[in-house]
Chain A
């Protein structure tokens, strides 16, 4: 595989960039693999990469119905963080943060990991206390967290609304300095390129139409490009999990919902951090291109449409202006929607299933992007060892039976209320 560096860039510039190799090949599916990963999104690609790298399992195919990176890894607001209260979440996402820190170098692909700091604003003392519970939990789990007072927040993000004419004044905030952003497409492409170089077949435009299960054991899949056998199969299709589950006669604690995001026109740098509103659901960061990247609420009803409606964005942007009045003069340039697995306690599932050789990775709600490396790493472990790692042991399917729920927000099963 070609190494990417400033030197290779210069060398290739003088050859008119004619010698660059493909980042990943376009293979024809083989008849059988050791492992098939369904879903060429961030999690699927990462899983294949870690299967090859950490477990030396390279006879692997990634089967993607569209183009790789076309799902939520290419539709999110690129935020990375591990600012969770529950231990299961905190420790899991912190593994992710460790992997993010080295990802560009490990993948030899600049994923533009930018630990610019994420700040959750608090608008009352009660909210400061709720954030303290979370922040203290983070610190006791070895995760960085700082509690900021109003003046400290003002110093860091002066263009927040500190005026009198504000409905919910800012009391302070909880900051994770190492939280930040990364370039979403690059993550998918970087994992794809490395996985491909280690022998993983990336098969695009190949839709799964059925499963071959005999005596409780998975044997293979049926696809739009023919049947493919496999000893083990991992599902990594957040957003479409329920569709595949139906083919397997499984019903899961998941509903599919739509989340919209939008960007403004690019402006000169004004916001150096990721900031979230505490009196609603709005978050904002500025991309390296200058666009303000904004997101918030679900559209609020089951949907596979990848297209939302304006009132939701209006609601989100209302909170946006409440937080950053300067947004008013900017123009909304582009909106888009992604469909996501909303699990019944707001936390994901990475587990074995009742079908031998079939593994499940789903339920990421709207937080899947930051989990990409940790999800791939633990899912690869679960598939390779046929047992869960302690870092994903809590993300079991069985927790919905036993009551060991991981409900970060305490909202319960009404998944559409974010």
Chain B
């Protein structure tokens, strides 16, 4: 089976490997080495999709990353990817693709009605209408517009592919393997530098693959192959194809996406679909080449209008003809190269050159070959709807204002060349102040901000000889700077055809009476008239033009449209292009798969999970876990069909009645050593610390400098100069940084060292009236009587051969102890406690019971210490020393903090003693007051009091001190609840704190 548009024996594809694929349900074949685009063109398929706004037919315009409109929905290995550029997608067996943004199909698209009504849809039309009636925008118009917009369809199935990250350091990162990239990589590598050479395409060589040049007696392609082969063998060089350096970030950090498996029917086992490289380079050589500019004329978006360089690439790389009857429209010599290639393969092109009498070696050759060249000619409009059928052409006057008689020429494709735009994206992202080069009518890199150098056509150098000379030199110089070596490689001789200057003309005027759309941005349908309208309406800054017309905002980010847009604005505004300025280049250079940016941190691994050393025991004993930051903690231990409420009540009751054990490993633990620890703690905590004896613990509250409570916990004096601090689970990391800050920055003279030991210790809290019995049995050698180990006492012990620390501290308000052992003994300790506690009816309890116990005791925790409260608010003012200074003390005397009616924690009991008060309810005087109803406070924590068998809550209440005994309402409009309540003391159980001391 032959393909109508495939040439024999031309191109770099592998003709031995036929590949079948489907497009819009129809089967085709191509060859290994094809892109989806080249294979479709070989099969004569040019209608790929529809444009964004007017739904005009769209084909192929480029042959790579610059492609503005050939995007498809791709199906691969039972998954689908939206918005895949057909010019970049390599063909693989079984590939399926579909057109996007058309309904019911690409051939007959209802949306194309927009095209016939396009006069009503100029730039920004939606700002001027759809305003009446008021609610219609979001009820009627917006849903309609949304449906029409967007390209591909996202699958909501979870992505099965795997993406990886890699971090790499190098001396030189070289972005692009065209002549400039190869030369600088080669020179640098030979000089001993560690080089990474990145090429976006599957094939190395860039323009050398398609240009007719001779380097050192080889043709360009052969020379490129030779250099690449040599580079690949060098140990100091990493060569990567299918790898796009898309972002240039601070301090020479560049990011590259490598398409590892996208070109295969499915990803290889243990191999990621894509790999993201973070590369820190000492020097960067930007050799990203240049992109051909379109010429602007009527209907220049018709399928069959392509960049002349793309036509040449399709021919020389893929052996594919974009047409058999080409018209070539150029303002420079590049168009001739394409014409010559056509002619070589028996195709007779017609060249329309906007210049009147250019003279160069290339043009001479074209003339010699007998190619039909029309000077001072332009295309006025392409004709044909879904494919170019002919063109209206005319002679143009020297001043480019007057058009001659319109002639009709038959053609099946139009190859355009409006000269070249250096790809300066990476340079600009790096902070380089770009400058306008009048000779090439484009911006080139200027003063560097970071360690980057741009070479070759990316720097506006368009002759091979100059490119190679400077690139070899740059590669050498930069590597010498780093390696201090001075091994120079010789620059090969170059044979290339000389070209002459391009014509600055790029936009064909419309003849009298003609209303053809002349497009600047092909995907977003931005035409010359749209930019004119924007300027007419006062949107004159280039950023306003961009935003008002959407020029350059499509998925190609204006690679082919931005400069023409700038030129148009400068023409109309009578400014030079650099005065207009370009919009900001921002990463990514080309769209990057979000999965690749994220890498492996997905699903359960999106954040780390921390587990205590007793976790397996909890799991085995039916613990239901709760996330506490990144920790998992048992919330309750489920027995039978118990609910959370029933289980936590059972567990809490057992603590009050018998004894319970709770895993407190997650508490932050900080080891503090040094002769000045007491003084340090005295400054950190609000209460006094200078006289804490060895073997004693103390509860402390620490503030931020703004007077707000930062954290609370206990610190124990283990020995003379050794202390052990505990923090809340949530604040552990912050407290450590806080301590380090004061020690290292503020009070460096204090001789104190801190280190986190959270991971080193496993902790179990044993609480309840029978806890002493359990402890005695655990540590038969220790005197655990109230005298031997009083409240806030500390001893060290031997737990069946395991070193243990025993703290008599309590969060539950019961007689309680906390036992710490080294983490690897945690489970041993836990099992021993359970075993020995059995006779005392011990039960494990989770965070829910823990909350109940602390709430009814009036102990504040995270829901009260919410970053907005001061010690007074939490009834901790007794712990605030009046004598000494400490962190945040000065802030406590501020007006709002000393107000007579300052908020304070109180207890709340429903009048009916039955209705639980939802946490987050607000307390008000009048449940039925009109809104906004003044709020007096909020319910911070609620529980079922196991002591009194009725609901009890804590609240932070305005003027809480004077509110005890008041009757208020707890309102939760979200839950439609209004509960009459009485305000009581927050210390609902054991207000004198006798149990902990018993």
Q: Let me know if chains A and B touch directly in the complex, using CB atoms closer than 8 Å.
A: yes
A: residues with CB less than 8 A from B are 4-6, 8-10, 13-14, 16-18, 20-26, 66-67, 69-70, 74, 87, 90-91, 101-102, 104-105, 108-110, 112-116, 123-126, 129-137, 139-142, 145-147, 158-159, 161, 163, 165-168, 180, 183, 185-186, 189-190, 204, 264-270, 279-280, 286, 288-290, 306-307, 309-310, 313-314, 317-322, 325-336, 401-405, 407, 409-413
Contacts of B607 in A (CB 8 A): 167-168, 279-280, 322
* Contact call A330/B128, Cβ cutoff below 8 A: no
> How far apart are the CA atoms of A390 and B642 in the complex, in Å?
52
* Contact call B594/A105, Cβ cutoff below 8 A: no
Known contacts A159-B156, A265-B555, A310-B247, A110 near B130 by CB under 8 Å: yes
Which of B35-43, B500-508, B654-662, B970-978 interfaces with chain A? Answer: B970-978
Asked if B959 is at the interface of the complex by the 8 Å CB criterion, the answer is no
Known contacts A26-B540, A136-B921, A267 near B131 by CB under 8 Å: no
> How far apart are the CA atoms of A190 and B548 in the complex, in Å?
12
B: residues with CB less than 8 A from A are 52, 79-83, 119-120, 122, 125-132, 134, 137-138, 142-143, 145-147, 149-159, 161, 163, 247, 249-250, 253, 255, 278, 429, 431, 529, 533, 536-541, 543-544, 547-548, 553, 555, 557, 584, 586-588, 591-595, 597-599, 601-607, 609, 626-627, 704-708, 862-863, 866-868, 891, 894-897, 918-922, 924, 931-933, 935, 938, 940, 971-975
A230: shortest Cβ distance to chain B, in Å? Answer: 24
Contacts of A330 in B (CB 8 A): 82, 154, 593-594
Contacts of B605 in A (CB 8 A): 167
Known contacts A136-B973, A140-B932, A270 near B156 by CB under 8 Å: yes
For B150, give the chain A residue with the smallest CB separation. Answer: A290
* Contact call B150/A115, Cβ cutoff below 8 A: no
- From B543, B587, B974, A310 is in contact (CB under 8 Å) with B587
> How far apart are the CA atoms of A187 and B767 in the complex, in Å?
61
Known contacts A17-B533, A131-B920, A136-B973, A114 near B138 by CB under 8 Å: yes
User: A4-B128, A267-B82 are known contacts; what are 4 more A-B pairs with Cβ within 8 Å?
Assistant: A113-B138, A140-B924, A266-B150, A286-B146
* Contact call A67/B972, Cβ cutoff below 8 A: no
* Contact call A133/B920, Cβ cutoff below 8 A: yes
* Contact call B895/A403, Cβ cutoff below 8 A: yes
The contact sample of 21 A-B pairs, CB cut-off 8 A, is A10-B120, A14-B119, A17-B536, A20-B533, A67-B543, A105-B134, A129-B920, A133-B920, A140-B931, A267-B150, A267-B152, A267-B154, A269-B150, A290-B150, A310-B253, A310-B587, A327-B595, A328-B158, A329-B79, A334-B553, A334-B557
* Contact call B127/A109, Cβ cutoff below 8 A: yes
> How far apart are the CA atoms of A404 and B898 in the complex, in Å?
11
Contacts of A66 in B (CB 8 A): 541
> How far apart are the CA atoms of A142 and B929 in the complex, in Å?
12
> How far apart are the CA atoms of A336 and B588 in the complex, in Å?
10
Contacts of A405 in B (CB 8 A): 706, 868, 896
Contacts of B52 in A (CB 8 A): 266
* Contact call B894/A401, Cβ cutoff below 8 A: yes
Contacts of A401 in B (CB 8 A): 894-895
> How far apart are the CA atoms of A245 and B606 in the complex, in Å?
42
Contacts of A132 in B (CB 8 A): 918-921, 972, 974-975
B887: shortest Cβ distance to chain A, in Å? Answer: 12
* Contact call B921/A9, Cβ cutoff below 8 A: no
A194: shortest Cβ distance to chain B, in Å? Answer: 13
* Contact call A9/B128, Cβ cutoff below 8 A: yes
* Contact call B151/A265, Cβ cutoff below 8 A: yes
For B862, give the chain A residue with the smallest CB separation. Answer: A126
* Contact call B935/A268, Cβ cutoff below 8 A: no
* Contact call B538/A26, Cβ cutoff below 8 A: yes
For A308, give the chain B residue with the smallest CB separation. Answer: B249
Known contacts A87-B935, A113-B138, A410-B868, A331 near B594 by CB under 8 Å: yes
- From B149, B152, B626, B897, A403 is in contact (CB under 8 Å) with B897
* Contact call A24/B538, Cβ cutoff below 8 A: yes
Known contacts A23-B537, A112-B142, A167 near B604 by CB under 8 Å: yes
* Contact call B935/A322, Cβ cutoff below 8 A: no
* Contact call A110/B128, Cβ cutoff below 8 A: yes
Contacts of A20 in B (CB 8 A): 533, 536-537
Contacts of A180 in B (CB 8 A): 138
For B893, give the chain A residue with the smallest CB separation. Answer: A403
* Contact call A267/B83, Cβ cutoff below 8 A: yes
* Contact call A314/B597, Cβ cutoff below 8 A: yes
A164: shortest Cβ distance to chain B, in Å? Answer: 9
* Contact call A124/B627, Cβ cutoff below 8 A: yes
Known contacts A5-B129, A13-B120, A147 near B587 by CB under 8 Å: no
Contacts of A328 in B (CB 8 A): 158-159, 161, 163, 593-595, 598, 602
Q: Total contacts A to B, CB within 8 angstroms?
A: 345
A156: shortest Cβ distance to chain B, in Å? Answer: 14
B147: shortest Cβ distance to chain A, in Å? Answer: 6
- From A23, A158, A288, A325, B145 is in contact (CB under 8 Å) with A288
Known contacts A133-B938, A270-B156, A288-B145, A331 near B83 by CB under 8 Å: yes
* Contact call B132/A105, Cβ cutoff below 8 A: yes
* Contact call B587/A335, Cβ cutoff below 8 A: yes
Contacts of B152 in A (CB 8 A): 265, 267-268
> How far apart are the CA atoms of A409 and B598 in the complex, in Å?
27
* Contact call B868/A407, Cβ cutoff below 8 A: yes
* Contact call B971/A136, Cβ cutoff below 8 A: yes
> How far apart are the CA atoms of A125 and B120 in the complex, in Å?
53
> How far apart are the CA atoms of A334 and B147 in the complex, in Å?
22
* Contact call A70/B247, Cβ cutoff below 8 A: no
- From B137, B586, B603, B975, A114 is in contact (CB under 8 Å) with B137
* Contact call B149/A189, Cβ cutoff below 8 A: no
A160: shortest Cβ distance to chain B, in Å? Answer: 10
Contacts of B918 in A (CB 8 A): 129, 132
Q: Considering residues B130, B595, B597, which has the most beta carbons from chain A within 10 angstroms of its beta carbon?
A: B597
* Contact call A163/B129, Cβ cutoff below 8 A: no
> How far apart are the CA atoms of A132 and B130 in the complex, in Å?
37
* Contact call A325/B82, Cβ cutoff below 8 A: no
Known contacts A25-B538, A135-B920, A288 near B863 by CB under 8 Å: no
Contacts of A313 in B (CB 8 A): 597
For A336, give the chain B residue with the smallest CB separation. Answer: B586
* Contact call A129/B150, Cβ cutoff below 8 A: no
Q: Considering residues B588, B599, B921, which has the most beta carbons from chain A within 10 angstroms of its beta carbon?
A: B588
> How far apart are the CA atoms of A25 and B940 in the complex, in Å?
55
- From B159, B539, B603, A167 is in contact (CB under 8 Å) with B603
* Contact call B150/A268, Cβ cutoff below 8 A: yes
> How far apart are the CA atoms of A127 and B55 in the complex, in Å?
46
- Ranked nearest first, the 6 interchain pairs of A and B with the lowest CB-CB distance are A410-B867, A290-B150, A132-B920, A22-B538, A403-B896, A331-B591
* Contact call A326/B895, Cβ cutoff below 8 A: no
> How far apart are the CA atoms of A265 and B868 in the complex, in Å?
41
Contacts of B557 in A (CB 8 A): 333-334
* Contact call A104/B594, Cβ cutoff below 8 A: no
Q: Considering residues B146, B255, B704, which has the most beta carbons from chain A within 10 angstroms of its beta carbon?
A: B146
> How far apart are the CA atoms of A380 and B124 in the complex, in Å?
29
* Contact call A329/B598, Cβ cutoff below 8 A: no
> How far apart are the CA atoms of A317 and B704 in the complex, in Å?
32
> How far apart are the CA atoms of A334 and B607 in the complex, in Å?
26
> How far apart are the CA atoms of A324 and B157 in the complex, in Å?
10
- From B129, B548, B601, A9 is in contact (CB under 8 Å) with B129
* Contact call B935/A137, Cβ cutoff below 8 A: yes
Contacts of B147 in A (CB 8 A): 268-269
A136: shortest Cβ distance to chain B, in Å? Answer: 5
Contacts of A102 in B (CB 8 A): 134
Contacts of A70 in B (CB 8 A): 541, 543
For A320, give the chain B residue with the smallest CB separation. Answer: B594
> How far apart are the CA atoms of A167 and B82 in the complex, in Å?
27
- From B128, B867, B895, A409 is in contact (CB under 8 Å) with B867
* Contact call A204/B131, Cβ cutoff below 8 A: no
- From B138, B538, B540, B595, A115 is in contact (CB under 8 Å) with B138
* Contact call B154/A270, Cβ cutoff below 8 A: yes
Contacts of B122 in A (CB 8 A): 13, 17
